[in-house]
Amino acid sequence: MAAASLMVHITEDHNEVLTYIYRAIARKKLSFSKNTLLHFDSHPDLLIPPNISASDVFVKEKLFSSISIENWIMPACYAGHISRIVWVKKEWSTQISDGEYIFAIGMDKDTSQIRCSSTEPYFVSELLYTPRDNLANIKDITLTVVTFDSSNSLQTMCEVLEELSDNSNIILDIDLDYFSTTNPFLSMYSEKQLDILATLYKFHEETTPELSAARRHKQLSMLSSTIKRLASQTSSASLSNSVEYSDPDSERLDLIRTLVTEEIESKGKVDPETLHEHGCTFDTCGLPHHISTEKEIDKHIADSVELLSRLKLKPRLITIARSSDDDYCPKEQVDVIQEKLLNSLQSLYKNMTITKHYSE
pLDDT of residue 238: 52
Q: What is the pLDDT of residues 157-214, one digit of tens each?
A: 999 899 898 888 999 999 999 999 999 999 899 999 999 999 999 999 999 999 999 9
Separation of alpha carbons 224 and 217, rounded Å:
11
Distance CA 61, CA 72 (A): 14
Pairing, β 317-321 against β 82-89: unpaired
C-alpha count within 13 angstroms, C-beta hemisphere, residue 76: 31
Residue 214 CB: number of other CB atoms within 10 A?
Answer: 13
316-334 pLDDT, tens digit each:
999 999 999 999 999 999 9
What is the largest distance, in Å, between two alpha-carbon atoms of the chain? 78
Query: Under DSSP, is residue 352 helix (H, G, I), strand (E, B) or coil?
Result: strand
Question: Could you read off the pLDDT of 238-284 as tens digits, one per residue?
Answer: 555 554 445 556 788 889 989 998 988 888 888 999 999 999 998 88
Q: What is the pLDDT of residue 206?
A: 96
**Would you give the distance in Å from CA 305 to the centre of its chain?**
22
Percent of the chain with pLDDT over 90: 79
Convert the pLDDT of each residue in 29-61 to its tens digit. Answer: 999 999 999 999 999 999 999 989 999 999 999
In whole angstroms, give the CA distance from residue 332 to residue 218: 41
Task: Give a three-class secondary structure readout of 106-165.
Answer: EEECCCCEEEECCCCHHHHCCCCECCHHHEEEEEEEEEEEEECCCCCCHHHHHHHCHHHH
pLDDT of residue 102: 98
- Pairwise CA distance, residues 360 & 356, whole Å: 9
Say if residues 75 and 67 touch (Cβ distance below 8 Å): yes
- Average pLDDT, stretch 6-27? 98
Could you say which DSSP state residue 53 is in? B
- Please report the pLDDT score of residue 110 as a whole number: 96
* Tens digit of each residue's pLDDT (9 = 90 or more) over 104-153: 999 999 999 999 999 999 999 999 999 999 999 999 999 999 999 877 88
- pTM of the entire structure? 0.93
> Burial of 4 by CB count in 10 Å (0-12 exposed, 13-18 middle, 19+ buried)?
exposed
Long-range contacts of 287-290 (CB under 8 A, 24+ apart): 287/43, 287/183, 287/185, 288/42, 288/43, 288/90, 288/92, 288/93, 288/94, 288/95, 288/181, 288/183, 289/92, 289/181, 289/182, 289/183, 289/186, 290/42, 290/90, 290/92, 290/180, 290/181
**Residue from 241, 336, 230, 326 nearest 278 by CA:** 326
| pLDDT of 2 strictly over 70 | no
Cα within 13 Å of Cα(259), Cβ side: 30
- Centroid of chain to Cα 74: 10
Q: For 300-314, write each residue's pLDDT tens digit.
A: 999 999 999 999 999
Q: How confident is the model at residue 286 (pLDDT cuts 50, 70, 90)?
A: confident
- pLDDT for 1: 44
C-alpha span between 74 and 81 (Å, rounded):
10
CA dihedral 23, 28, 33, 36 (to 10 degrees): -80
Strand, coil or helix: 202 = coil
Show Cβ contacts of residue 299 under 8 Å, excluding neighbours closer than 6 positions.
none
